[in-house]
Every structure is written in structure tokens, then in C-alpha cells.
Amino acid sequence: MENNSNSALKINQVIAVLTILVILSTSVQLFNMRGIETQIAKINIQEEIEENIKVAKSYERTEKVTSNIEENKNEELLPSSELNRLQKVTSRSEVNRTEKESKIPQAVKKYKKIEEITISTNMDLSVRCGISKEDFNKLMANLKVDKSGFFERNSNTIYELCEKYEINEIFFCGLIAAESGWNIASSHRKANNYISMMSKGKLIRYSSEAEGLEAAAKLLHNRYLTKGGSCYSGKTLSGVQKRFCPNSNTWVGLVFGCMKQVIK
């Protein structure tokens, strides 16, 4: 009888232990399931948030595109009359701006009067006489000793060449008159060579009056009136004479006398 009681007790103990193990196992499984559900819920919430952000950005882009389309549509729908009006306003603004710019005072070059021209034998022959082209033209038109009309006919060319090559206009005319005569000697006239430029003992020939005058001005500037030039000996009449006409004692007086006749 005692043995049966012990056996029954052991069986009950085993059953109790098994029951406890089953309960523990079930609790662990429930706990794990709840953890998994919690993780799944977090993932779902995160995905939902990201989806909402994507939707919001997409909506924002759509709003911008719609706004641009509306603006472009409004521009396209702008009446042609309004467009013309805006173009005219813009055009007037440009015209007004140009007019204002044109009214900005510019530096005005001051010229001497014809009667203010001064010359001397020691003058710098590279310094202009200081009168305007219009006054120089008048001076040449009233040059009584210009028997052939050469100086009056070429007054613009002479003035512009003297400006280009930095030569005194009165000296240039005086030199031409001294070398070719006021009536321009036939040989010089045929060669279009007015200051006796020579090559191999003969006058160099040029194709036109303008070409001959420019050759003369260029020669004077490059060789006689510029430091370092092959014939430079000073910028005065005596300086030029030393290489231009070295064997003459009357050249300076002849050229200066012709210069005086120009402004007489």
C-alpha cells in the first residue's frame, strides 16, 4: 500500500513538472510573438511615413508644374495689342537711354584761329599748327600763290596725312612749294612726287597725287622727324636740312619763306 502511494506521488510530481514546462513554453512563445508583432508594427509605421513623404513631394512638384503651365498659358493668352504696347514701351525706353547717353558732354577739342598760327625757323616740325580741318581748307582756298590749285584740291588729304604722321601742315606745304614750286613743276607733277624723293638719280614715280603725298609724309615722319630714324638730326628746319639737302646753304630760308607765304 505504501508503495502505491509513493508511485502515485511521483506520477503527480512528473505531471506537475510537465505542466509547468508547458506553461513556461507557452509563455515564451507568446512573448516572442508579441515582440515580432511589435517589430512588424514599427516597420509598417515607418513604411507609411515614407509613403506619405513621397506623396507630399509628388504633390509639391505637381503644384509647381501646374503653376508654370498657368504662367505660360497667361503669357500665351496675352493679347497681341498688349504685347505691342509693351514692345513700344521697351523701345521708347531704349531710345530715351540712347538720347541721354548722347547728351553726355564730350571733350571738345579746342582749335586755334587761322590768325593765331605762329611759325619760326626753330619750331618743332612734328607739332601741328592747331587749326581745324575746316579752317585749313579755307586757308588753302585763299592761298593766292597756289597757281595750279594743287593745294586747294588736296587740302583734305594734306590735313589728314599731317594728322596721321604728326607733321606741321604749314611746314609740309612750304616744303612742297620749295621743292616743286607753287605751280608744281612738270616733272614733279608727272611723277606725283612733290618733295624730290630720288632713287638712282631719278624722281620716284607714284600713281596718284594722294599716293605721292602719303609717301612724302611717311618719309618725313619715319626718317627725318622721329628719333632713331635713319636721317634724324633734329625736328627743326636746320635739323632736317642736314640730311635732306646737306649741300645747300639756302634751303632753310627757302622753305621758311614758302611757309610764311602760306599764312600771309
The answer to whether the CB of 235 falls within 8 A of the CB of 142 is no
User: What would you measure as the largest C-alpha separation in the chain, in angstroms?
Assistant: 176
Query: Cα–chain-centroid distance for residue 201?
Result: 49
Nearest to 143 by CA among 130, 152, 134, 135: 152
Q: Could you tell me whether strands 202-203 and 198-199 are parallel, antiparallel, or unpaired per DSSP bridges? A: antiparallel
pLDDT one-digit tens code per residue, 109-125: 799 999 999 999 999 99
- Quick one: pLDDT band at residue 93, thresholds 50, 70, 90? low
- Quick one: pLDDT band at residue 75, thresholds 50, 70, 90? very low
Q: For residue 202, list its beta bridge partners.
A: 199
The residue ranking higher by pLDDT, 174 or 81, is: 174
The answer to whether the CB of 167 falls within 8 A of the CB of 159 is no
Q: Is the pLDDT score of 25 beyond 90?
A: no
Q: What percent of the chain has pLDDT over 70?
A: 60
Taking residues 175-193, report their average pLDDT. Answer: 97
- The grid coordinates listed for 215 are 609717301
Tell me the CATH number for domain 114-262. Answer: 1.10.530.10
- Quick one: pLDDT band at residue 197, thresholds 50, 70, 90? very high
Taking residues 204-218, report their average pLDDT. Answer: 98
- φ, ψ of residue 243 to 5 degrees: the values are -115, -25
Taking residues 52-65, report their average pLDDT. Answer: 54
The answer to whether the CB of 224 falls within 8 A of the CB of 195 is no
Nearest to 184 by CA among 213, 160, 159, 207: 213
pTM greater than 0.85: no
Measure the CA–CA gap between 195 and 187, rounded to whole angstroms.
12
Cβ neighbors of 229 (< 8 A, separation 6 or more) are 222, 223
Measure the CA–CA gap between 68 and 245, rounded to whole angstroms.
85
What pLDDT sits at residue 109?
Answer: 79
- The grid coordinates listed for 187 are 616733272
Question: HSE on the CB side for 188, CA within 13 Å?
Answer: 19
The answer to whether the CB of 258 falls within 8 A of the CB of 174 is yes
Q: Is the pLDDT score of 37 beyond 60?
A: no
Q: What percent of the chain has pLDDT over 90?
A: 58
